[in-house]
A = this chain, B = another copy of it.
Amino acid sequence: MREPRSRADAVRNREAVLDAAEALFVREGLAQVSMNSVAAAAGVGKGTVFRAFTDRAGLLQALAGRRTAPLQEAAAEGPAPLGPGTPPRERIPALLDAVARAKLDNLSLYVALEETGSSSPYRVPSYGWWHGTLRGELEKLTDPAHAGFLAHALLAAVRADLMTHLAVEEGIPAEEIRERLAAYVESALP
């Protein structure tokens, strides 16, 4: 049952596609970026892109993983205040602030990501992880029957399209958005 090692060119191309795709997303925004244009920008055939990532959603997932892995890792096994072991009253606001911050720094990328899972952010795998983590902490503070919904509601307040609306349409500085969020989380916590 050996893992069949990938060929060198496959690995190289995979990386090139990810780099090109990320650059395109940041520069042009989700809607403008077709699979064709990604392939062209990476200097690679279309078939190669699909071979490596299965479909558009797969490419976005991969892009997501790469970009969000550090944050998720910090939350899963890092030091306080993000990591486990931190008291819930401190960890929950820290987690939400970290998520908001990451999204505010990469608006278009995260908007694209949340539209991946058959156009429902709730089907993106990482959502389940964040929700589970948050619910776990909330269960220490309140009736476990309420923790699930509460976790959903708090995560809804940091959705990428809301962050985009606040930052772009309403023109609120990122700093201020995070402050408002923090105040909100504080008041919503049981």
A185 to chain B, nearest CB (A): 9
Cβ < 8 Å to B, chain A residues 94-145: 111, 115, 118-122
Query: Chain A 137-158 against B: per-residue CB contact (8 Å), 1 yes, 0 no?
Result: 0000000001011101100110
Q: A164-B120, A165-B122, A188-B188 are in contact. Are A153 and B157 (CB under 8 A)?
A: yes
Chain A interface mostly: helix
Chosen A-B contacts, 19 in total, with CB atoms closer than 8 Å, are A30-B119, A31-B119, A111-B120, A120-B161, A146-B180, A146-B183, A146-B184, A149-B166, A150-B184, A152-B157, A152-B162, A152-B165, A153-B156, A153-B184, A153-B188, A156-B156, A156-B162, A157-B157, A159-B159
A122:B161 contact, CB within 8 angstroms: yes
Query: Chain A 65-84 against B: per-residue CB contact (8 Å), 1 yes, 0 no?
Result: 00000000000000000000
| Residues of B close to A118: CB separation below 8 A | 31
- Is residue A32 contacting chain B, with contact meaning CB distance below 8 A? no
* Chain A contact patch, size range: 20 to 34
| Residues of B close to A184: CB separation below 8 A | 146, 149-150, 153, 188
Complex Cα gap A187–B187 (Å)? 8
Of all chain B residues, which has the CB nearest A153?
A: B157
Complex Cα gap A120–B162 (Å)? 9
| Residues of B close to A3: CB separation below 8 A | none
A46 to chain B, nearest CB (A): 23
Complex Cα gap A187–B184 (Å)? 11
- Is residue A190 contacting chain B, with contact meaning CB distance below 8 A? yes
- Is residue A169 contacting chain B, with contact meaning CB distance below 8 A? yes
